[in-house]
Structure 1
Amino acid sequence: MSSVLPGELVPAQHVNLKLGPGLLRQSSLNGQPLVISTRAGEVHHTTNRSRWWIEGNSRRYVPAPQESVVGVVVGRSGENWKVDIGSSHTATLDGLAFEGATKRNRPNLKVGSLLFARVSLAHKDMEPELECFDAQTRKAEGHGELKGGFLVQCSLKMCRMLLDPNHFLFPLLGSRFPLESAIGMNGRVWISAKDPRQVIAIARCIEAVDPDGGGMDEAAAKKFFSTLDV
C-alpha cells in the first residue's frame, strides 16, 4: 500500500486489468498503456492484482463503472428517471434497466423513491447511467427499488468498511436482531428492521463507528450498543 498524488504513475499491470475509482489509463509515446492517479489517496489492489483503485477521504462521490449505489429518484425525463446519487451530476436510469422490464411492464417509480442500482456508465463529461440488473445475466441480484427502511448518510470510507466481509459492525448487530441493508459506494446505507428502535440503533452505531464520526473500534461499539434501548 502506498500514497499517491494526482498525476502520479501507478504500477498497475495485469492481463485482465480493471481500474477502479481514482485511476485512469493513458497511452504513452511508445504506445504502452500507463496508469495514472486522478486523486490523492492510498493505492489498493486485489490479491491477484487484477483490480486497482485509490482510497481517499473525498466527501463527494465520483461515479465509477460497476459500483453499486443508493440513489433517490428526483424526476422523470421521457422514459427515463433522474436519480440523485450524491455526485456532481444526477444519474440517468432507463425505464427498461430492470429485471423482466418491458414497455408494458416496468416499475412505477415516484419522486423520492429509493433505489439500489449499479453504475453502468461513468465519464467525467457525461451524466452517469444506472441499471438495476446485471447486464450479462439480466438478473437483479439484489438491485432495484428499496421499499420502507431508512437511509443513513455516512462517509465514503465507512461504506467501503461495511462492504468488507470481515468488518465487525453488521455481524455484531445481526447477532442481536434480523436486519436488511443495502450499502452504496456513494456514502449511503439503506437499513431495515422490524422495530423502529432497532433501525435507530443501527443508524447510531454506523455514525459511531464512522471514521468521520465517532471512529469507534469493536470493543467501544459493543459498549455503546449496550447503552441503547433495543
Structure 2
Amino acid sequence: MSTPLVLLPGDEVPSDHLPPANNNPLKLGPGLKLLSEPTPASEKPRHVLTATQAGILSTDAKRNTVSLLSFPNRRYIPTVNDLVIAQIHHSSADYFHCMVTPHTAHALLGQLSFEGANKKTRPMLKQGELVYARVLSVGLGAGAEVEITCVNPATGKADGGLGPLVGGMVFDITTGMAARLIRASSSSPDDDDAVDGLVVLSELGRKLESIGGFEIAVGRNGKVWVDCSNAGDSAVKATIALGRCLQGTDEHNLNPADQKKLVSKVLREFKLA
C-alpha cells in the first residue's frame, strides 16, 4: 500500500488491505472488531472487520496481525483488554477507585484482583500509588463504570508485569506513541526490524545494559512507567534520561536515525555513555 488507509468508527476494513490468508488465525489489535453481518437463512453468515475508533490501518504480514493506529493526540477511551497505568484515588470496602484519565470516571479495581490475593494478603494501596492493570470491562453510555484487573482472569496470574508499580517515574506520552511502544516492547528480541519505525527502546536497552538496564510499563492511556533502580547511583539520571528520549521521540516524531542520535545525545548529557 502506498497510501495509508484512514478509517472512521463503523468503517469496514477492505479485504484487499488484510494480510494474505494462511493457516494461522488473523490477530486483531486495538481499534478493530469482528462482526457478523445479517444474511438470509440459506446463506452462511458473513463476517466483517470494522473499526471501533478513528485511525490508520496497520498490517503486519509476518506476524499476521492487523490493528488501527490511533491518532497521536486522541483522548484515551477505555477498551477491553487495554493495558493501562492507573493511579489510586481512594478505596472502599471492595474496590480501589482509580484514575485512568482526567476525562473519565474512576475505574474500579477489585481489592482481590491481584495474584494470590485474599483478605489477609491483598495489597494495602494508598492514594497516589500506581498499578499496571488490564481493562476488564466497560459499560455502555456516558459515565459508565470501567473495571480493571491486575490478573489474567483465565489463569489468576499477573501476566506481563501486572500489579503495583513500585519506585520509578511516570512520563506522559501521546496515546499513539503508547500504542507504538507496546507493539515494540512485545516484538521478538531476535527481530531486527523496527516496529512502526520505532528503535528508541532497543537503542536504550543496548546502551544502558552495562549499568543494569531498565524496566518499563506502557499504558494505552498515554502513560509510561520507567524504573532504572538496578543502575545504582545513576538510577535517577538514567530514569530521567530514558523518559526524555521517549518524550522527545514522541513530540518530534523522529525517524529511526534521529532516534539513535537523540539517545546518544541525551546519554552523553547525563554522562551515562
Normalising by structure 1, we get a TM-score of 0.85
The corresponding residue for 2:6 is 3
1:41 aligns with 2:55: yes
Give a deviation string over 1:81-128, Cα, whole Å, max 9, x none.
Answer: 111112623211001110000122200101101111111112343311
1:1-230 equivalence runs, <5 A: 2-11=5-14, 20-24=29-33, 28-30=37-39, 32-45=46-59, 47=61, 52-57=66-71, 58-86=73-101, 88-125=104-141, 126-141=144-159, 142-163=161-182, 164=184, 165=187, 166=194, 167-177=198-208, 178-193=213-228, 194=231, 195-210=235-250, 213-227=251-265, 228-230=269-271
Alpha-carbon distance between aligned partners in 2 of 1:135 and 1:221, rounded to the nearest angstrom: 38
Letter in 2 for 1:121: S
Identity %: 31
Structure with higher helix content: 2
Alpha-carbon distance between aligned partners in 2 of 1:200 and 1:18, rounded to the nearest angstrom: 35
- How far apart are 1:55 and its partner, in Å? 1.8
- How far apart are 1:39 and its partner, in Å? 2.6
The question of whether the paired residues in 2 share the 8 Å contact of 1:162 and 1:169 is answered with: no
Which stretch of structure 1 is more off in the superposition, 94-103 or 154-163?
154-163
The question of whether the paired residues in 1 share the 8 Å contact of 2:200 and 2:263 is answered with: no
- How far apart are 1:201 and its partner, in Å? 0.6
| Structure 1 portions without partners, runs of 5+ | none
Letter in 2 for 1:36: T
Structure 1 pair 76–98 and aligned structure 2 pair: CA distance change class (3 A): same
The question of whether the paired residues in 1 share the 8 Å contact of 2:178 and 2:218 is answered with: yes
Alpha-carbon distance between aligned partners in 2 of 1:51 and 1:218, rounded to the nearest angstrom: 22
| Structure 2 SS opposite 1:10 | coil
Which stretch of structure 1 is more off in the superposition, 39-48 or 123-132?
39-48
Normalising by structure 2, we get a TM-score of 0.73
- How far apart are 1:69 and its partner, in Å? 1.0
**Greater C-alpha radius of gyration:** 2
Which stretch of structure 1 is more off in the superposition, 127-136 or 57-66?
57-66
The question of whether the paired residues in 1 share the 8 Å contact of 2:199 and 2:260 is answered with: no
Alpha-carbon distance between aligned partners in 1 of 2:52 and 2:219, rounded to the nearest angstrom: 22
| Structure 1 SS opposite 2:252 | coil
Structure 1 pair 17–124 and aligned structure 2 pair: CA distance change class (3 A): farther
